[in-house]
Amino acid sequence: MYDISLTKSEFPIQDDEVVLGTTVGGLLQKVAHAAPNQPALIEVDEAGKNGRRWTYAELFRDAERIALALSTRYQPGERICVWAPNIPEWVLLEYACALAGLTLVTANPAYQAQELAYVLKQSRAVALFRTASFRGNPMADIASQAAQGLPNLRDVVDIEDWDALLAQGQKSPQLPVVTADDPAQIQYTSGTTGFPKGAVLGHRGITNNARFYAKRTGATLGAPWATMMPLFHTAGCGMAVLGALQSQSPLYLIKMFVPEAVLELFERERIAATGGVPTMLVALLEVMENRSFDLSALETFMSGGSMVAPDLVEKITSALGCTFQTVYGQTECSPLVTQHHMGEALADISTTVGQPMPQTEVSIRSTSNSEVVGIGEIGEICVRGYCTMLKYNDNPEATAATIDTEGWLHTGDLGTMDMRGYVAVTGRVKEMIIRGGENLFPAEIENVLLAHPSVAEVAVVGLPDERWGEIVAAFIRPAEGFDVEPEALKAHCRAKMTAIKAPVVWSKVNAFPLTGSGKIQKFTLRNQYLEGNLHAI
């Protein structure tokens, strides 16, 4: 860890690592030359069985072939949208676009026509590479609907049709010079508080961020990685794909998250490094309660997307028997901002999201005047450095509102920093509950509730109230064999927190509305309750 003692909540750049002028395609070419015969990519189907596989030399060969074909059809700088689940062609297109100087636009395979049309129009995509269907979503039909009336969109291509991938256009095949300053991707933010914006990410940001992440995990060079995170999210196509690449590791690409099949894969292939959001951790633990797996090869497990409750950290470290790290990031930051170091104490892992990444400044700033707050005080988490997005696509107003004149990116997340620079996330600026003038932070209340054996998952939100302004509501998915019992949960809360923080509205849910990256959409829960679709117990 960094040995530092702060007097205010501002963590300076640490230069133990160097920011390199790397590009996505250039890195693949470099690793293919250094380790041509090393396994690179292994397909894992819906049943958890292995499919096609590539060495690094084969992966670069196929990516370059696709890139040359793309160069005959599209101009450098044009936007190509990929709309598919975790399949090898997705990764190949990621590398091919990078080699061809094209900007990859990512889209959630669960999108419906209106959502897909928005992304295609807002990104000004000239081509859509889609699969036929996934999990019952008729993607080919939806793509046809979404493409109507989009003047920029020239092609809709079946990404699994190799003849279509390699089709030649009118231009001569030629790959351009791509620099680290060029845009690599447009990633649409998860939209926990509204419709997404397109964060334009550069090659420098996503490649260096993935390298720093891979090194801090402590995973053995060349040891197998697996990703169950979706590729359309930076955790999948950034941290996992580009992290495994820079570790010269084989990456097992899991098409669909089925907890038991994932655990069987970990056991069978001796997976060393993986990660998932807290909802995935809960699902894995539920399977492991009834069946044992040999996970002795697992070296490190990373989780993020939201604060990981202390009780869940203790359960997962006990069940997996490996190093557990929590990370904190945001799409706009390429994505990682903080991460734990190897061998840290459970107390730090369960109450913080670690120290800032190399070459990354982090500060906690007042939401009223943007001044840096004192140690331990709650404010907005702000980030500055190589990793921040280039801009929001075609949205200068949102860009200016997010990145201030001094270069600080305002994340919209609330948190604290201790004197060592360890950050704790307490909630979202817009999720903060103000009850009778008191600021209440959902993450604190959620962590208390998750320590109760009857609670599997919980989301705490504020509801409007004439007397108090807002009141606290808890939406709970009960653990197997339990029901939601408000009186018992109230007593539990009051034994752990001041009375004002205890929820007054309790609602049972069977499943949560989630973003594509696995975060609970609290604004959807709030709206469903206010519209009468969810009810108090």
Continuous segment of H or E residues that includes residue 528 = helix 522-530
Query: What pLDDT is recorded for position 192?
Result: 45
Query: What pLDDT is recorded for position 481?
Result: 93
Q: What are the start-end ranges of the E strands in 72-133? A: 79-83, 103-106, 125-130
Q: How far apart are CA 273 and CA 105, in angstroms?
A: 27
Q: How far is CA 128 from the centre of its chain?
A: 23
3-state secondary structure of 268: helix
- Using alpha carbons, list the distances in angstroms from residue 480 to 41, 271, 457: 36, 28, 11
Burial class of residue 16, CB neighbours in 10 A (0-12, 13-18, 19+): exposed
Query: What pLDDT is recorded for position 277?
Result: 83
CB contact set of 97 (below 8 Å; sequence gap of 6+): 67, 70, 80, 103, 104
DSSP type of residue 520 = B
Q: How far apart are CA 31 and CA 33, in angstroms?
A: 5
Q: What pTM did the predictor assign? A: 0.84
Query: What pLDDT is recorded for position 437?
Result: 64
Q: Residue 396 carries which side chain, given as an amino acid letter? A: P
Vertex 109 angle, CA 108 and 110, to 5°: 90
Which tokens is 201 given? 């990410």
**Same CATH fold assignment for domains 23-417 and 431-530:** no
283-331 pLDDT, tens per residue? 999 999 999 999 999 999 999 865 577 778 888 888 988 989 999 999 9
Q: Mutual orientation of helices 24-34 and 88-99 as an angle, nearest 10°?
A: 110
For the domain 23-417, what is the CATH superfamily, name and number? ANL, N-terminal domain (3.40.50.12780)
* C-alpha dihedral (146, 104, 198, 255), degrees to nearest 10: 70
Nearest to 278 by CA among 512, 526, 472: 512
Query: What pLDDT is recorded for position 500?
Result: 84
First to last CA, the chain: 46
Q: How far apart are CA 506 and CA 512, in angstroms?
A: 15
Burial class of residue 29, CB neighbours in 10 A (0-12, 13-18, 19+): middle
Kindly report the number of other CB atoms within 10 A of residue 396's CB atom: 9
Q: Where are the domains of the chain?
A: 23-417, 431-530
Q: How far apart are CA 156 and CA 147, in angstroms?
A: 8
Burial class of residue 256, CB neighbours in 10 A (0-12, 13-18, 19+): middle
Q: How far apart are CA 433 and CA 442, in angstroms?
A: 7
Continuous segment of H or E residues that includes residue 234 = helix 234-234
- The alpha-carbon radius of gyration of the chain (Å, integer) is 23
Identify the residue whose tokens are 């991707």. 185
CATH no. of 431-530: 3.30.300.30
Q: How far apart are CA 142 and CA 140, in angstroms?
A: 5
Which tokens is 216 given? 């801090």
Q: Which residues pair with 323 in a beta bridge?
A: 300
Query: What pLDDT is recorded for position 193?
Result: 45
The low-confidence residues of the chain, meaning pLDDT below 70, are 190-195, 305-307, 437, 439, 517
Query: What pLDDT is recorded for position 195?
Result: 58
Give the pairing of strands 10-11 and 433-435.
Answer: unpaired
Dihedral over Cα of 251, 252, 257, 259: its sign: negative
